[in-house]
Amino acid sequence: MNRIALITGATSGIGRATALKLAQNNFDIIITGRRIELLDELKKEIKEKPSGRVHILHFDVRDKEQVFKAIDALPKDWKDIDVLVNNAGLAVGLEHLHDGTVDDWERMIDTNVKGLLYMTKKVSAIMVEKNHGHIINIGSTAGKEVYEFGNVYCGTKHAVDAITKGMRIDMLKHKIKVTAINPGMVETEFSLVRFKGDKERAEKVYKGFNPLIGEDIADAILYVLTRPEHVCINDMIITATAQANSLYKVTE
Ligand code: NDP
Ligand code: 8X3
């Protein structure tokens, strides 16, 4: 029987690439996000993959009532989730703290930290019932070190790092694997969102630099999910060859 994987933030970037990669490798996929038209498009693509089984959940991870209702209302044949990929997340703004916008901070904290917690609460309860499952949290190099202007975004990803470690302890006796995948710069909609739709500024981030793409992270997720039962990959940091850490990268 195929494993069921729920991926948050599947409309774009890392989440979309992961949904396609896992569907290619015989996972049944629950895709989630706010942009329903993109979920519908992805559903069509997944239907062409070997698994072909796909289910859409449409909600904002910041809204705990929506999250809880969506998981509670899953049809019986989709409820038995084996894999949760907590991927939905964002950076908004890139300013010194005293120039920062409170609403940007709240969007990041509510999505990257609280949204991840709401999802995990509901889905891990299903996994605990059956003493089986795998939770993958998408952290960041920003959760391992802090860079100028990164303040609150780095704070949320450091929180993901700590919460992942806590989860692994709590899930231990339930045989649930917990993995953090921490990418460096990946070319997705990330910078467009960070710079609030300023395409020119977003493109500059990757100019002359050879970044990761969503599929590189999807590959790592598939690797982590296909280890033997007794092996749990706890923590992975993945950067482009042209990047050493948050502070050092080379451009051509
Ligand atoms: P994208 O902007 O391309 O994708 C982000 C995804 O998250 C979208 O599918 C978006 O869906 C979803 N999302 C955002 N906010 C919400 C919300 N409130 N409710 C539900 N879904 C939401 O960025 P990436 O693919 O790059 O980012 C994915 C994850 O990877 C994030 O956690 C990010 O922090 C992390 N990351 C990214 C790196 C990078 O350089 N790109 C590096 C390290 C980590 P929709 O808008 O449809 O709701
Ligand atoms: C995304 C990578 O370097 O923009 O988490 O923080 S970075």
Is position 41 within any domain? yes
Ligand 2 site residues, Cβ closer than 6 angstroms:
140-142, 150, 185, 246
Is position 163 within any domain? yes
Burial class (CB in 10 A: 0-12, 13-18, 19+), 72: exposed
CATH number at residue 181: 3.40.50.720
CA dist 168 and 174 (Å) reads 10
Ligand 2 atom having least distance to the Cα of 190: 1
Is position 249 within any domain? no
| Ligand 2 centroid from CA 125, angstroms | 31
Q: In this structure, are residues 2 and 54 in contact, taking their beta carbons and an 8 Å threshold?
A: no
Low-confidence ranges of the chain (pLDDT < 50): none
Q: Which ligand is nearest to the CA of 211?
A: 1
Q: In this structure, are residues 59 and 35 in contact, taking their beta carbons and an 8 Å threshold?
A: no
Is position 251 within any domain? no
CA dist 23 and 50 (Å) reads 7
By annotation, the residues acting in catalysis are: 153
CB atoms within 10 A of CB 204: 13
2: left (phi over 0), alpha (psi -120 to 50) or beta: beta
Q: Residue 252: its pLDDT value, please? A: 87
CA dist 243 and 210 (Å) reads 9
Ligand 2 pocket test, candidate residues 181, 188, 246, most atoms within 8 A of CB: 246
Is position 43 within any domain? yes
3-62, pLDDT tens digit by residue?
999 999 999 999 999 999 999 999 999 999 999 999 999 999 999 999 899 999 999 999
| Ligand 1 centroid from CA 230, angstroms | 30
Q: Residue 149: its pLDDT value, please? A: 98
| Ligand 1 centroid from CA 152, angstroms | 16
Is position 116 within any domain? yes
| Ligand 1 centroid from CA 193, angstroms | 9
Angle at CA of residue 49, ends 57 and 4, nearest 5° = 45
Burial class (CB in 10 A: 0-12, 13-18, 19+), 175: middle
Q: Determine which residue's CA is closest to atom 4 belonging to ligand 2.
A: 185
| pTM summary value | 0.98
Q: Residue 109: its pLDDT value, please? A: 99
Is position 182 within any domain? yes
When divided into structural domains, the chain yields a total of 1
CA dist 193 and 221 (Å) reads 23
Is position 26 within any domain? yes
CB atoms within 10 A of CB 232: 17
User: Which range of residues forms the domain containing residue 211?
Assistant: 3-238
Q: What tokens does 196 get?
A: 């609030």
Q: In this structure, are residues 128 and 80 in contact, taking their beta carbons and an 8 Å threshold?
A: no
Angle at CA of residue 118, ends 116 and 122, nearest 5° = 115
Q: Determine which residue's CA is closest to atom 9 belonging to ligand 1.
A: 9
